[in-house]
Amino acid sequence: MQVSKKIAVLPGDGVGPEVINPAIRVLDAVAQKYRYHFAYTFGSIGADAIEKSGTPLSDATLADCITSDAVLLGAVGHPKYDKDPTLPLRPEMGLLRIRKELGLFASIRPVTTYPSLYHLSPVKSNLLEHVDIVIFRELTGGIYFGEKKHDADFESASDQSSYTAKEITAIARVAFDYASKRKRKITLVDKANILETSRLWRKVVTALAESYPAVELDFMYADNAAMQLIVNPAQFDVILTDNLFGDILSDEASVLSGSLGLLPSASIGKGPALFEPIHGAYPQTAGKDTANPIGTILAAAMMMEYFGFNDAAADIRQAVQWAIQNAFVSKDIDPVNFYFTSTIGELICDYITGKTDHAVNKGNIQIRKSTII
């Protein structure tokens, strides 16, 4: 019996559509191999949605996402809105709304390093060995969703950060379950020396840890964690933290891999999970077919795991490893001898379906490169 899944696709802004297309092709490749069936429905989000419907996320698109098995998203953002912070509608509102409406309280961001790309990281190569981190960021609470105020002249402003024990328990339980299947270590990152919300995090997480005696729990202040991610990243396994610190630390951790374009993320919770690369819309390169599709393709691998299609997920990751090892990489990785976004997707698909010799002769595809050497 053929397994069928409905996937809502939100290409979004900037390079979003360009990185979504290879990811869909990769999903089609594993569907062909394992006889799955993926039914795609497409919708708008962010600046694209504002232009088309006057809102960063329409009710119709949201309804479609709610009735899907998962959501695949490209990127959200546009410089027009960055330059004018007073605009009442902003692309990011669509992303915040979909997280809230789908109950996506946990962002999962794996950080993997590749030996052939160590030279791209500002961190010394010897510090990158054995780095395999997963960051769990709380996604629907904290300062991003708290009450926001400013006076009439915009001379003063405030943002409220608040959490409940229930919100903290929800993501902490997911992180502990995940850590139980890895190295059994969680680092809670907070500012409990200053913030009441952080003290609540420590209280709740410490109590929950009693239910997971095999998992080691330690604590680290956010400023120290930011430093330790650079000076000794291999010490971390699972990092658990709130919305604000998670946003900052996950972007910082991306430099360990060598490029923001390599990293995927999953947002899970009560409704269908959402999968996306961690990079932004990057409008400067939109339409040039030079964006890095790997983060989105690896987000598709995370989606396969979410569905329980572990063999398909392993195939995608193996194909990505093969592409990187053979230097089939995008412009952010190699500014001279780079491959186009669409070409990288084609090569990864060919690897998955067995159409490409695993010991491929690069001379045979020289013409598909962006530069002729």
Token look-up 């996604």 returns 139
- Residue 194, both tokens: 């200053």
- Residue 187 near residue 238 (C-beta atoms within 8 A): yes
191 is catalytic: yes
Which residue in 48, 237, 242, 247 is the catalytic one?
247
Which residue in 81, 144, 212, 339 is the catalytic one?
144
| Residues belonging to the chain | 373
Beta strand pairing call for 106-112 and 264-268: antiparallel
Instruction: Return d(Cα 74, Cα 20) in angstroms, integer.
Output: 6
Token look-up 């990288």 returns 344
Which residue in 177, 223, 311, 357 is the catalytic one?
223
Which residue in 191, 221, 334, 369 is the catalytic one?
191
223 is catalytic: yes
Beta bridge partners of 303: none
Token look-up 């005696």 returns 213
Measuring CA to CA, how many Å separate 305 from each of 92, 272, 302, 315?
A: 27, 14, 5, 11
Instruction: Return d(Cα 242, Cα 320) in angstroms, integer.
Output: 30
151 is catalytic: no
CA angle 165, 169, 175 (to 5 degrees): 150
251 is catalytic: yes
Token look-up 């950060």 returns 161
34 is catalytic: no
Three-state secondary structure call for residue 188: strand
Measuring CA to CA, how many Å separate 254 from each of 16, 102, 249, 326?
A: 19, 26, 9, 22
Q: Which residues are catalytic?
A: 144, 191, 223, 247, 251
